[in-house]
Structure 1
Amino acid sequence: MSASGARPSRPSRRRLSPDDRRNELLALGAQVFGERPYDDVRIDEIAERAGVSRALMYHYFPDKRAFFAEVVRAEGERLFAATSTQAQPGQSLFERLRAGVLAYVEYHEAHPHGSWAAHVGMGRTDPILLGIDDVDNTRQMQRIMDAIATVTPDLDSKVERDLRVIVYGWLAFTLEMCRQRILDPSLQAGGVADSCAHALLDAVMRVPGIPQSLAVAVAPEAR
């Protein structure tokens, strides 16, 4: 209650399209989940802060778990778009990888609440969240395989399979490196990007049967 005894006014509700309203709720959710543990957040609180009714909140999201999953999914979409770096003329494979990882790190710097909520807050054991991870990892894997294809268009099926496995493993490594930087921002972004890019090329270099053109592109002297 205020000093005058009046109840504090609720935020005025603005007219938004359904998509804009949903995106607004997701952005607010990323902020709140990034500030506090999952169990401390009430979905009614999100509705109140957004100036919408509880019924409308549940119209968009059936429960808190589904809402959090959509927050994480939206974060993944934004991150994928932010890391869509364009290859520059004469850029080496190492430089392309480094630029992508650096964009990843810079995205986390620009969106600390969403990054914390998606990668630190609740952990990664919920089946729904693991499904979202699978989609994100497959897209990122294919992006890297496409970059490799610019160096070596025609890969033997076994070599291609081995490279996909390597890239999937590397994505887990890179996510953890970036997660550690979310936890400790004093880690140098350039150092993280260098380590991740070198790690992938070192692993690719050891895949049996890679074509000579790819071996040359990932060799230490090409970095």
Structure 2
Amino acid sequence: MGGVTTTTSSRTRLSPDERRTQLLDLGVRLLATTSLEELSIDVLAEEAGISRGLLYHYFGTKLGFFEAVVQHAADDLYRQTAPPAEGEPLERLMGSITGYVDYVVANQPGYRSLVRAASGGNDTLRRIYDDTFRALADRFFAVDTGTIDLPDTPAVRLVLHAWQAMTEALVLRWCDDPAGLTRDDLLRVIVDSLLPLLAALP
């Protein structure tokens, strides 16, 4: 009983923002082993030690919670793919891509469900997906935090978008079947493929 009392007491000390963040963190952790379609409100409420009603109080609806979890996961992905502050451009790009590959490998079910949801009929999930990859592409043009110094033109953006799509598809296929490639091999293929694509632009 003492343990239950301590848990309840610690819960009451959380502010609404802290509780909401705790629930989102838990939702993201569950997405590491569970697809978005299989994510259960009941399981999450039980894991968090709260009622379903309290969870709906914070997020309104089941879909509202799912969308908030996906945004939280997308923010995590963006943070984990931040390039190192120091190093040559390609070294910094390698650091960013390493973060991306490791994130996808560690969160496959949730990441795959996000990709499926983004291609489905949910406009909010599609926007989160598109905004995240646009923000990742923007890093190439940031003066202080960019990896490779690229001219910000529609043609360069087009090639970057295609390279991002190839990278995502390649990593997900590699997770299913590495085809003899090590993680380092995969990283090198991804990083080394970008500049030749850009060099082909007129």
TM-score when scaled to structure 2? 0.78
Q: What is the CA distance between 1:136 and its match in structure 2?
A: 0.5
Give yes or no for contact 2:81–2:100 (8 Å, CA) kept in 1: yes
Alignment of 1:129-148 (within 5 A): 129-146=125-142, 147=146
Q: What is the CA distance between 1:39 and its match in structure 2?
A: 4.1
Specify the code of the residue in structure 1 equivalent to 2:98. L
1:79 equivalent among 77, 80, 104? 77
Work out the percentage of aligned pairs sharing the same amino acid.
28
Question: Rg bigger for which structure?
Answer: 1
Distance 1:144 1:95 in 2: 13
Specify the code of the residue in structure 2 equivalent to 1:170. W
Alignment of 1:79-118 (within 5 A): 79-89=77-87, 91=88, 93-109=89-105, 112=106, 115-118=107-110
Q: Structure 1: 5+ residue runs without aligned partners?
A: 1-8, 209-223
Q: Structure 2: 5+ residue runs without aligned partners?
A: none
Give yes or no for contact 1:11–1:49 (8 Å, CA) kept in 2: no
The structure, 1 or 2, with the larger RCO (C-alpha pairs under 8 Å, 6+ apart) is 1
Q: 1:179 to 1:24 in 2, by over 3 A?
A: farther
* Number of aligned residue pairs: 188
Distance 2:16 2:176 in 1: 35
Aligned-pair Cα RMSD in Å: 2.8
Give yes or no for contact 1:85–1:99 (8 Å, CA) kept in 2: yes
2:42 paired with 1:44: yes
Q: Greater shift after overlay, 64-73 or 163-172?
A: 64-73
Q: Greater shift after overlay, 96-105 or 179-188?
A: 179-188
